Structure 1
Amino acid sequence: MFQKHIAILAISGSGKSYLTSVLFEELLDRMEELGKPAIIVIDPHAEYVGFAKDKRYGQSVKVFDKKNISIAASALSTYQLMEFIPQISPAQSRELYGIIENLRSKKRQYGFKELVTAIETSEIKRVTKDVLISWIMGLESKDLFSNYTRPSMAELVKPGQLSVLDVSDFVSMKEKQMIVTYFARQLFNQRRDGKIAPFIFVVEEAHNFCPEGTRKEGALSRRIIETIAREGRKFHASLVLISQRPIQLSTTALSQCNTHIILRVTNPYDLDHIGKSSEGLNSDVVKTIPGLRVGEALIVGEAVNHPVLVRVRGRKSQKSEKGIPFEEALLKYKAKTKEKEKDMEAFM
């Protein structure tokens, strides 16, 4: 199934994450003699962090959260900075390239503040200096960048390991997109060069990271995801896109997913989009999709000869999401409010 790319499409609450967890279990349980791929998942809502605490699978799982995710400024090439600053012009990028190369010839490691100083002391035009400094200082203001890149590719990509990039604590969608852009680019480049093992790259909420019809400034990671979708297969870099809004997902990326696993979808625009983008789906089959029950899925595409209705098996792993249940949050808030009222009464 993972020889080519996969799309998992469904509305919220229909079992996407549950199905994905079952797929992770199957991959982690795969026999050693058959070979085990590295699995990397972008986890915007900390839905898979519980795998690290599971008795059966915990030793094969690494979770990298906000404390363990950072990008070294000195590791960024001019091209990678252009991915973070898509509004930069070719002329500005040429000036920046010269400054970065000159700085690298003097220092192996440096931060954005040192890059700003290098721009300031360069001989480029004042107006170009001001624009470049403004953009670089904008990156400097984010929590994402430091002197070191974490995790390293060696930590992130290991055969038989599920690596969870937990980006749930990053508030800014732009920061989340930068994380996906940087690590997806590293994964693709290093796999293309044969430096890392074959991998499966799973992107949850893919419509947020690879959106259709959004300007480049709001879709920083779209280009590299589309690149992996188009070219990844020949380098054994498999892509899994998971989305609850298929119509908002890049048509380029979705069209490269040869197998679609479709759970319940009710939005008529999404259904129409799925019908047009999924091979082997006729109008009669599309009409059955809104009636699918939780845990039921249609598999269509190259993994099967014809549309197949399946029921997702029970999980072996224990579901353990980050945070607390809604009811518990209500009770904690109520108790906190009462405590404040008591404090106010005592003060009065």
Structure 2
Amino acid sequence: MGREKQKVGVCLNDSTSREVSFISDGSVSLGDYVELDYDGRTVLGFVKHLSCSSKLFSNDLDLKDVERLKKMSRDHRVLYGKISILGDVKSNMFVPRVPPPPGTDVFLASTQTLKGVFGRSDERKICIGSLLTREDVDVYIDIDQIVSRHLAILAITGGGKSNTVSVIIEGMLEKHASILVFDMHGEYVNFDYRVDGENAVKRLELKLNPVHLSYREFRQFANVDDNSFIQDRYLKRAFKATIEDISSGAVQISDFWGRLLGELENFRELASDKESDIKDDRKSIIGVINKVEDMKESYAELFDLFQKPIVEQIEPARLNVIDFSHVDEKIADIIVSHVLRNLLEKRKRFVHGYDGGLEFPVFSIIEEAHILASSSVRTRSRYWISRVAREGRKFGLGLCLVSQRPKALDVDALSQANNMIILKLVEPGDQRHVQQAAESLSSELVEQLSSLNVGEALLMGKMIPVPALVKIKLASGKMSGNDRSAVDEWEKVYRSRKSLIDEIDSFYDYGEEF
């Protein structure tokens, strides 16, 4: 025999099919899930707002009157609240077209009902944590929906983003996912996690073969901008001629730089002729030659003429990591856009049946997304992030945007993420920016973001049947990048130096005895 339902309130007037006003004696909390029986259905709801009131303590009373009433009366508080109607659990969360009648009882949702909503482990779902108000109910998210509809993980620094990303990575690796992390701070390079007894992490070489770059990417390395029309014209001609010669076999890959600079030198010599039609371009040609030579020298450690493309290094069922911790934001922008462009092109080739495609889907995690897809700076990565977000679902390319500065993140890119995990957000500008990108994020839910503790999050989107406040579980894999203790490090250095000084003093004291 089932346990009797726990009644926590009664519906009041002015309810709609989507929102219900109710009164309670105090046995319900913000974020609780409740059940209402009406219209022949058992409907699930979410307590999104609560306020406390008492008729005894009117605003007309002074402080002395209030103190006397406190001594004379018991607990006379009443809770007034609002419930978001989520739908009928047994009918694929169908929302009745009529509101619950006033007087309808409100019951605390049963564990059985909630487990039916938030799922169980299967081949497409992973456990991310438990309900914040019901620790006995695990919450599962749909991997297919994450990959096809994309994901944003947002929080203040120290809010629990890295642990959340790690939990998702571990769950996906258990499903043999192919994951690519653009690691801005070297946090995931030493990620300690094994699948079937083998290390699941592969560090991709941060090397680029200039032969495999698009002209626009190559031009960025050479610092030739959109306004340098003449330099752009000659560099483009020389680059295309060099690539065509390498493709046809007329020039070896190892001769790339010599062929490119040779072509530019030919233009310079031609411009040196006083009768030449391009004599006025001589200064610009010399300038672009200098830029290419500086580029070759400055990026000598980055360029490798015998390196295969980064996308071709990605392995299935692994956590593939590109470590950007030793390069500046400009280089990171060029490489991220280059990799995303190639991922999209190669997945298109495979899906359309052409040779040279990438045969498996890839889920890309972009750390510091507000830098690469900035709302104020026009980066190449922003273009390709938005493009992959729009087109990727058709070709098995998923994106996860991770940021502690949501308001600095391009709203178009953020709006493409149909799934969100929002941890603690305090700054009102960040909250408004997120709400602007997520139409289903109500003002009541936004208000909860600043009161979340570390590791607590609001989950919403296609990956989960209904929005949920969740306590994210702790990842089992170890990673670097956690907060460092300055006090511990100071103490370590102090002890080390003091020990050295004591040894030196002891040595001199010993010498003085003789």
TM-score, L = length of structure 1? 0.84
Asked whether 1:192 is paired with 2:330, we answer no
Q: Deviations over 1:38-78 (max 9, x none)?
A: 11001111222232x445575221023xxx31111222232
Residue of 100, 117, 127 corresponding to 2:283: 127
Q: 2: CA distance between counterparts of 1:145 and 1:193?
A: 26
Structure 1 residue 279, shift from structure 2 partner: 2.8
User: What's the counterpart of residue 249 of structure 1?
Assistant: 409
User: What's the counterpart of residue 81 of structure 1?
Assistant: 218
> Structure 1 residues 58 and 326 mapped into 2: Cα distance closer, same or farther (>3 Å)?
farther
Q: 1: CA distance between counterparts of 2:158 and 2:478?
A: 18
Secondary structure of 1:192's counterpart equals helix
User: What's the counterpart of residue 458 of structure 2?
Assistant: 298
Structure 1 residue 268, shift from structure 2 partner: 1.0
Q: Contact between 1:6 and 1:239, CA under 8 Å: does it hold in 2?
A: yes
Residue of 336, 339, 342 corresponding to 1:183: 339
Q: Contact between 1:44 and 1:168, CA under 8 Å: does it hold in 2?
A: yes
Q: Deviations over 1:83-115 (max 9, x none)?
A: 555723566544333312332314231454652
Secondary structure of 1:70's counterpart equals coil
Structure 1 residue 220, shift from structure 2 partner: 3.6
User: What's the counterpart of residue 252 of structure 2?
Assistant: 108
Structure-to-structure mapping, 1:197-212, within 5 angstroms: 197-212=360-375
Q: Contact between 1:202 and 1:242, CA under 8 Å: does it hold in 2?
A: yes
Q: Deviations over 1:219-239 (max 9, x none)?
A: 242222222122212211111
Counterpart amino acid of residue 168 in structure 2: L
Asked whether 1:9 is paired with 2:154, we answer yes
Structure 1 residue 149, shift from structure 2 partner: 3.1
Asked whether 1:165 is paired with 2:322, we answer yes
> Structure 1 residues 70 and 113 mapped into 2: Cα distance closer, same or farther (>3 Å)?
farther
Residue of 154, 176, 186 corresponding to 1:46: 186
Which moves more between the two structures, 74-83 or 307-316? Answer: 74-83
Q: Deviations over 1:197-229 (max 9, x none)?
A: 211111000011111121x4xx24222222212
Larger % of strand: which?
A: 2
Secondary structure of 2:376's counterpart equals coil
Structure 1 residue 138, shift from structure 2 partner: 4.3
Q: 2: CA distance between counterparts of 1:335 and 1:254?
A: 48
Q: 2: CA distance between counterparts of 1:162 and 1:272?
A: 33
> Structure 1 residues 27 and 61 mapped into 2: Cα distance closer, same or farther (>3 Å)?
same
> Structure 1 residues 107 and 247 mapped into 2: Cα distance closer, same or farther (>3 Å)?
same
Q: 2: CA distance between counterparts of 1:323 and 1:134?
A: 43
Calculate the aligned-residue CA RMSD, in Å.
Answer: 3.0
Secondary structure of 1:164's counterpart equals strand
Q: Contact between 1:278 and 1:301, CA under 8 Å: does it hold in 2?
A: no
Q: 1: CA distance between counterparts of 2:252 and 2:470?
A: 54
Asked whether 1:97 is paired with 2:236, we answer yes
Q: 2: CA distance between counterparts of 1:93 and 1:190?
A: 28
Q: 2: CA distance between counterparts of 1:112 and 1:323?
A: 44
Larger relative contact order, structure 1 or 2 (CA cutoff 8 Å, min sep 6): 1
Q: 2: CA distance between counterparts of 1:341 and 1:86?
A: 56
Which moves more between the two structures, 21-30 or 220-229? Answer: 220-229
Q: Which has the larger radius of gyration?
A: 2
Structure 1 residue 182, shift from structure 2 partner: 2.0
Secondary structure of 1:146's counterpart equals coil
Which moves more between the two structures, 203-212 or 132-141? Answer: 132-141
Aligned residues: 332
> Structure 1 residues 337 and 220 mapped into 2: Cα distance closer, same or farther (>3 Å)?
farther
Asked whether 1:59 is paired with 2:219, we answer no
Q: Contact between 2:179 and 2:317, CA under 8 Å: does it hold in 1?
A: yes
Q: 1: CA distance between counterparts of 2:290 and 2:303?
A: 16
> Structure 1 residues 81 and 340 mapped into 2: Cα distance closer, same or farther (>3 Å)?
farther
Asked whether 1:69 is paired with 2:206, we answer yes
Structure 1 residue 296, shift from structure 2 partner: 0.9
Counterpart amino acid of residue 224 in structure 1: W
What is the percentage of aligned positions where both structures have the same residue?
30
> Structure 1 residues 319 and 100 mapped into 2: Cα distance closer, same or farther (>3 Å)?
closer
Counterpart amino acid of residue 225 in structure 2: Q
Q: Contact between 1:11 and 1:266, CA under 8 Å: does it hold in 2?
A: yes
Q: 2: CA distance between counterparts of 1:341 and 1:229?
A: 59
Q: 2: CA distance between counterparts of 1:325 and 1:111?
A: 48
User: What's the counterpart of residue 313 of structure 2?
Assistant: 155
Structure 1 residue 245, shift from structure 2 partner: 0.6
User: What's the counterpart of residue 307 of structure 1?
Assistant: 467
Structure 1 residue 326, shift from structure 2 partner: 4.0
Q: 1: CA distance between counterparts of 2:330 and 2:482?
A: 22
TM-score, L = length of structure 2? 0.58
Structure 1 residue 309, shift from structure 2 partner: 1.0
Structure-to-structure mapping, 1:197-276, within 5 angstroms: 197-214=360-377, 216=378, 219-276=379-436
Q: 2: CA distance between counterparts of 1:145 and 1:337?
A: 42
Mark the runs of 5 or more structure 1 residues left unpaired by the alignment: 31-35
Asked whether 1:285 is paired with 2:445, we answer yes
Q: Contact between 1:119 and 1:133, CA under 8 Å: does it hold in 2?
A: yes
Q: Contact between 1:41 and 1:203, CA under 8 Å: does it hold in 2?
A: yes
> Structure 1 residues 339 and 119 mapped into 2: Cα distance closer, same or farther (>3 Å)?
farther
Q: 2: CA distance between counterparts of 1:260 and 1:323?
A: 24
Residue of 302, 305, 311 corresponding to 1:144: 302
Counterpart amino acid of residue 235 in structure 2: L
Q: 2: CA distance between counterparts of 1:248 and 1:209?
A: 10
Counterpart amino acid of residue 87 in structure 1: D
Q: 1: CA distance between counterparts of 2:261 and 2:401?
A: 37
Structure 1 residue 178, shift from structure 2 partner: 2.2
Residue of 19, 37, 57 corresponding to 2:164: 19
Q: 2: CA distance between counterparts of 1:333 and 1:135?
A: 45
